Amino acid sequence: MADSEVRLENEAAQSTSALGPLIGVAREDFVSAVALLLRETASDPTRFIRHSTAMAQDMVKILTGKSELAPDPKDKRFMDPAWAFNPFFRAGAQYYLAVQKGMRSWLEELELDELERNRANFIANIILDGLAPTNTLAGNPTAQKRLIDSGGLSLIKGLQNAYNDLVHNKGMVSQVDKRPFKLGENVATSKGAVVLRTEMMELIHYAPTTDDVYEIPQLTIPPQINKMYINDLSPDKSVVKWQVDNGIQTFVISWRNPTKEQGRWGMTDYVHSCREAMEAVAAITGAKKVNVSAGCSGGQTAAMLASKLAADGSDLLGTLTLMVCVLHPKATDIEAGSLVSENGMKLARQRAQKAGVIKADDLARGFAWLRPNDLVWNYVINNYLLGADPPAFDVLFWNADATNLSASLMGDFLTIYETLAFTKPGEVEMVDHKIDLSKVTSDLFILGGVTDHITPWKATYRSTQLFGSKDVTYVLSQSGHMQAILNPPTNPKAKYYVQKKKGKLPATPDAWLQGTEEVKGSWWPAWMEWVQARSGKTKPAPEALGNDTYQPLDPAPGLYVIEEV
C-alpha cells in the first residue's frame, strides 16, 4: 500500500462520525461566527490597517525573493521538493503562508472570550484550509507531475471520480473504496445468530469458540448512527472474536436504521430496547447479571440505562465499560463545539422534527465540513487531482455505512448536552426517572484516546467522577476515537497508559496523568482480565445459540445491517 493511502487511512480513521453536540450546529451558527469576525474587524479600523500593512510587507518580500516564510516541516501538503526548489511554487506557498500568518496574528489581537476565540479560530481554519494552493491542479506540483507521467490519464481518472461522486455519492468526495468489502464474507464474519428481533433492534448471540465460558455474559450497545459491525470488522481486530476466544458469552445489539415514520424513537425507546435485550441475554444464559459495554453515543445510552436500572432498584447490571464516551461535555472541549448556540440547537431541532429524521448523508456531509482538511481536501487531492482511488479500509467502509438519526433521539441528546443531565444527580428527568449516576455502583472501565478529536480524552475522564462506583479503572489508549478502541494485540505500535497505584482516581485528568505509566502493547488483554475477573465462574459452553424462547432467526450480522432505507 502506498504511503499516501496509509496517511489517508490514519487521518480519516481518527475522524469518524460520532453523535455529540455538533448535531445541534445550525447553518446560522456559521453565519454568526463569520459576522463576529467582521464585527470585530470593523470595531477597530487602525488594527485592521496595521495588519494589512504587515501582510503587504510580507507580499513585497515574497515578490523580491527575500521572504523567509516556509511551511511547517510536518505539514503533509507541502512535502513535495518543488515547494522548496521551484521559484513559482515556493512563492505560491509563501503567499498562502503570509495570509495564514496575517489572519492568525489578527485573531490573536481580537478582544474575545475563550468561547468566541475558539469559534473564530475554527472558522478561520476552515477558510484557510480551503485557500491552500494544494487544493488546485495549478497549485499542486505532485498532481502536475502525475498528469505528465500518466500522459493525462490521471486527469481523466480524476474527472471520472468526480463525476461518480456527483452522481452516486450525492456530491460528496468518496473517502473509501467500498468494492472489496462484503458483509458476512470479509467484514462481520464471526459466527452467530439473531435471537431476538423487534421493530427497533436485533439481538445477536455469537457462537462460543472455547470449551468453557464465563457465567456472566457481555452485551454491547453500539452508537445509534453507526452499524454494529464496528465490533467485528475483521478477524484481526474484532472485539467480538476477542471476547468469544476468551470465554465471554457475547451479545451485540444491532439498531435498525430509522425511517421518517420512525423519527419518534427517542431515548426512552432506546433504553427500553437495551433493557429488553439485557433481559433476553439473562434468560438465554441463565445469568442473574449482564455486563455491558458501549462506545460513543452508545455509552450515553448505556449510562442512561444504568441510571434507570438503579432508580428501579434492579440489580441486572453487572460491570459497565464505556469507550470514547463523554458524559460531562464542555463547550471548549473541541473548537467546533464553540459553534453550538442555544438558538442554533433550537433551529436544528425544528428542522429535524419537520423532516422526521436527519439523513445519514446529511450527517456525514456536515461532519466532514467540520474537519475539511482531513475529510474533504485530502480526498479532493487524492481522488480528483491525482486521479487515484480512495483507500480500501475497513474502518472507513464502516464509517461510510452510516444510518439516519431520529429527530426525537437527536432532541434528547441535545437536552443531555444543554442540561448537563449526567452531572446533576436527581435534577433532570428523562426516560421516566430523575437521572442520577451516583446511584450506579457497578464496577467501571472507562477508555479514552490520546489523539481523539471527537471525544477528547480529558472529557472522557470526567465520567470517572460521576458514578457511585467504588471500583473505577481508566485507561488511555493511543490514537483517536474508533482507532483507540480497535487497537488489538496484533498492532506492533500499540500502547496505553494506566494509573501506577491502584486506588481512587484523582479528580482531574491532569492529576491522573502525572501518576500513570506507559504500557507497551494493546489494552485489550488488560480489559479482558478485568472483565473475566467480574464474570463469575466458568461452565461448559452452550451447544446451541439462543434457547426455546429466543430461537435463532438469521445468521450474524443479521438483517438490519443490510437493510436499505
DSSP structure string for 186-223: TBS---EEEEEE-SSEEEEEEPP-SSEEESS-EEEE--
> Would you state the pLDDT for residue 87?
92
Catalytic annotation, pick one of 82, 216, 296, 396? 296
Q: Which residues pair with 420 in a beta bridge?
A: none
> Would you state the pLDDT for residue 32?
67
> Would you state the pLDDT for residue 21?
45
Nearest to 489 by CA among 313, 239, 252, 138: 239
Tell me how far CA of residue 229 lies from CA of 93, 234, 347, 430, in angstroms: 43, 9, 33, 29
Other Cβ atoms within 10 Å of 415 Cβ, number:
16
Which grid cell sits at 41? 474587524
Give the residue ranges of the chain where pLDDT is below 70.
1-38, 40-44, 334-341, 565
Other Cβ atoms within 10 Å of 166 Cβ, number:
12
> Would you state the pLDDT for residue 91?
93
Q: Where are the domains of the chain?
A: 24-135
For the stretch 179-219, pLDDT in tens is: 899 999 999 999 999 999 999 999 999 999 999 999 999 99
For the chain, report the end-to-end CA distance as a whole number of angstroms: 34
Cα angle 49, 54, 55 (rounded to 5 degrees) comes to: 95
Contact 91, 58 (CB under 8 A): no
Contact 322, 10 (CB under 8 A): no
Determine whether 296 is an active site residue: yes
> Would you state the pLDDT for residue 540?
97
Cα torsion through 204, 210, 216, 218, rounded to 10: -40
The stretches of 332-488 forming alpha helices (DSSP H) are: 342-355, 360-368, 372, 378-379, 394-400, 407-419, 457-461, 481-485
Which grid cell sits at 279? 433481559
Nearest to 264 by CA among 362, 391, 170, 352: 352
> Would you state the pLDDT for residue 346?
78
